[in-house]
Amino acid sequence: MTEQKSALRPRRHATWFHPRASLARDGWNIVVDASLDGWQHTGLRTVDFRTGEPGTAEPGTTELELGAAEIERLVVPLAGGCFVRAVTEDGALHEVELEGRASPFDGPTDCLYLPPGTRAALSGAGCVAVAEAPATTRHPLRHIARDEVTVELRGRGRASRQVHDLGTPAVLDAERLIVCEVITPAGNWSSYPPHKHDEELPGRESQLEEIYYFELEASPGAPRAPGGAAPYGLFSAAASSATEIELDERVRSGDVALVPGGFHGPAVAPPSHDLYYLNVMAGPGERVWRITDEPAHEWVRESWEREPPDDRLPYVRAAKGARP
């Protein structure tokens, strides 16, 4: 028993849940990187260039820079579009306008992959996320159009959700980075059954850190929360044989959960609001998402065979993106 405990990667020494704006730094609303204790394979930055919004960039911010580093990145417009001016390691200038969308709940967005060694500047009038992972392989800079993003419907019944493969191996050539986003209709559960990916078990499981960035929006026809009453969903994570972690959190728009390992899920949408989260994953091994379900809840997948998919999906509010 003593040997087994010593083999666990310690994960209780750091905080893995971060409320909105608690990770703000250098003009960014959120900065997740290797400066956080125990975190090494993934990163996330967000900036909201809109004025008057709580938790937005510092007043007067019109542009933010990304320095050249051994990091690959995916620029993801969350609400509105943005403009990216990038210079790759060979000195080539790339000026890319990302159309974006009205909100994270308005279908997939176009996005931009930046290879390692690229410096860039972001500007615009919306909210933008930048997913990151340490890397050295120089894959080409690539603008991924909205209609290139694969839309998947996963689960059944109250476990139905919609996944947008923004930067998964099926869509993007990269070294480490895996990026997707999930919309969970009001009242449904996603990241379910609870699962883990914290061990490199060839052909069975991959070792991946994971970031969850959350947003909530009143579902069509539902009343919005009155002023001062921020809607919230729920998110959980529990220990596995490889990772000690325990999270049972209320999650609100702008919050971040870090999952170094362990069985994580469900992410639960409240009855009146739809839940969105952006997932950033990367690890030291093969760039593939292989998972192990929590044994006590493996039966959940079999139950889906008897349930219809949620008729609210596919969930696409708008055909085109737009700047606010």
Nearest CA to 9 out of 198, 200, 195 is that of: 198
pLDDT digits (tens, 9 = 90+) for 117-132: 999 999 998 999 999 9
Domain CATH code at residue 76? 2.60.120.10
Beta bridge partners of 82: 98, 124
Number of domains in the chain: 1
- Evaluate whether residue 324 is within a structural domain: no
- Evaluate whether residue 214 is within a structural domain: yes
Rounded to whole angstroms, the Cα distance separating 30 from 23 reads 5
Q: Within 10 Å of residue 244's Cβ, how many Cβ atoms?
A: 18
- Evaluate whether residue 188 is within a structural domain: yes
- Evaluate whether residue 4 is within a structural domain: no
Least confident range of 115-124, 156-165, 301-310? 301-310
- Evaluate whether residue 316 is within a structural domain: no
Mean pLDDT value across residues 267-290: 97
Q: What is the DSSP string of 88-120?
A: -TT--EEEEEEEEESSTTSS---EEEE-TT-EE
CA-angle at 12, arms to 9 and 16, nearest 5° = 105
Nearest CA to 250 out of 21, 12, 17, 78 is that of: 17
Rounded to whole angstroms, the Cα distance separating 215 from 183 reads 9
Classify 274 as helix, strand or coil.
Answer: strand
- Evaluate whether residue 5 is within a structural domain: no
| pLDDT (0 to 100) of residue 1 | 35
pLDDT at 7 over 60: no
Mean pLDDT value across residues 236-244: 96
Rounded to whole angstroms, the Cα distance separating 122 from 128 reads 9
Rounded to whole angstroms, the Cα distance separating 118 from 73 reads 9
Strand pairing report for 273-282 and 178-184: antiparallel
Kindly report the average pLDDT of the chain as a whole number: 91
pLDDT at 203 over 90: yes
CA-angle at 287, arms to 81 and 103, nearest 5° = 20
The pTM of this model reads 0.92
CA-angle at 108, arms to 140 and 149, nearest 5° = 45
- Evaluate whether residue 158 is within a structural domain: yes
Nearest CA to 217 out of 145, 130, 318, 147 is that of: 318
pLDDT at 323 over 50: no
Q: What share of the chain is helix, strand, coil (3-state, %, to 5)?
A: 5, 45, 50
Q: What is the 3-state secondary structure (H, E, C) of 181-250?
A: EEEECCCCEECCCCEECEEEECCCEEECEEEEEEEEEECCCCCCCCCCCCCCEEEEEECCCCECCCEEEE
- Evaluate whether residue 312 is within a structural domain: no
Are the beta carbons of 153 and 314 closer than 8 angstroms? yes
Identify the domain containing residue 273 by its residue range: 14-306
Q: How confident is the model at residue 56 (pLDDT cuts 50, 70, 90)?
A: low
Mean pLDDT value across residues 301-324: 74
Q: What is the 3-state secondary structure (H, E, C) of 33-90?
A: CCCCCCCCCCEEEEEECCCCCCCCCCCCCCEEEECCCCEEEEEEEEEEEEEEEEECCC
| Whole-Å CA distances, 69 to 43, 64, 114, 175, 219 | 13, 16, 11, 14, 40
